[in-house]
Amino acid sequence: MIRKNQFGGRIAGASIALVLLAGAANSTAAPITFFGEDPTTAGTLGPNSTAARNDFLSNLTGVGNEDFESFSLGDDAPLNLTFPGSAGTLGATLTGTGEINDSGPGRFATSGTNFWEVTTGSFKIDFSDPVSAFGFNGIDIGDFVTDQMVLNLTNASGGTSELTVPHSLGIGNNDQATLFFGFYDLSQSYTSIEFTNAGGGDFFAFDDMVIGDAEQVTPDPKPVPEPSTLALLAIGLLGFGIRRRFTPRLRQ
């Protein structure tokens, strides 16, 4: 009976610590974002954009790239996209205003010749299976605009959140600016992403989109708990230690 009571106390104390740890992890979890920008280039993806893209891709495995080369000039939404997933094909449907193009003032493809071109407004990507990572190259974004671009995310539970693309404003129309923006999320997956383009009036180009499911997100090393999380865990373990120390021992 003595051992059973003490063992029960240990389980209770450890459970409290784990509950605290789980609560802290859930309250602080957020997408990990990657961003690089080159306000002026010579018609290729700039070095800062490339570095951010490579950093993003280093956290993924087995993902594909949508370069829009399989579409014809003038093709508009809806566009059906496919990507390799960890257990088969990941499907996506792109809707909204826009079309496939291959040239424009300040705009160019970052691979091949085609890109997805949109005007100020919005477009949306719906995923057939929830994804946990998404990234893209943006070209000629930041001129003739008044605010940053916002991504509206809908997660697998129906909740919504926003990510702001922190690009510069007032970039020259013919400067051929490039950027890369991407994120992964270890806490939840998403069923759709809507692009709310920066205010003002302009054309933007997007190319080389990447998506990945949860099993394809493989950051190395894995993120460590934040100090607040570790503190809560320590409190839980401390409570367990105090309970163990002062649990009265029964005589047989």
For the stretch 1-33, pLDDT in tens is 333 343 334 334 433 333 334 444 444 478 999
Q: Where are the beta strands (DSSP E) in the chain?
A: 32-38, 79-85, 88-96, 99-101, 115-119, 122-131, 133-139, 149-155, 160-165, 178-184, 190-196, 203-212
Is the whole model's pTM more than 0.95, yes or no?
no
Between CA 222 and CA 229 the distance in angstroms is 15
Rounded to 5°, angle at Cα 245 from 240 and 251? 125
Which residues, listed in sequence order, are joined to residue 104 by a DSSP beta bridge?
107
Give the SS3 label for residue 122.
strand
Cβ-proximal residues to 191 (8 Å cutoff; 6+ apart), any chain? 126, 127, 130, 154, 155, 156
DSSP summary character for residue 127: E
Between CA 168 and CA 171 the distance in angstroms is 7
> Two tokens at 240?
């367990």
pLDDT at 121: 67
pLDDT tens-digit readout, 83-108: 999 999 999 999 998 999 999 999 99
Greater confidence, 98 or 202?
Answer: 98
pLDDT at 173: 87
105-111-115-120 Cα dihedral, nearest 10 degrees: -60
Task: Tell me if 114 sits within 8 A of 102, measured CB to CB.
Answer: yes
CB atoms within 10 A of CB 162: 10
pLDDT tens-digit readout, 132-183: 999 999 999 988 888 899 999 999 999 999 999 999 998 988 999 999 999 9
Q: Please provide the distance, in angstroms rounded to a whole number, between the alpha carbons at the two ends of the chain.
A: 9
Which residues, listed in sequence order, are joined to residue 89 by a DSSP beta bridge?
84
Question: 């040239």: which residue's tokens?
Answer: 103
Which residues, listed in sequence order, are joined to residue 107 by a DSSP beta bridge?
104
CB atoms within 10 A of CB 201: 12
DSSP summary character for residue 72: P
pLDDT at 242: 45
* Region of residue 93 (phi > 0: left; psi between -120 and 50: alpha; otherwise: beta): beta
Pick from 38, 48, 36, 35: nearest CA to 175 = 38
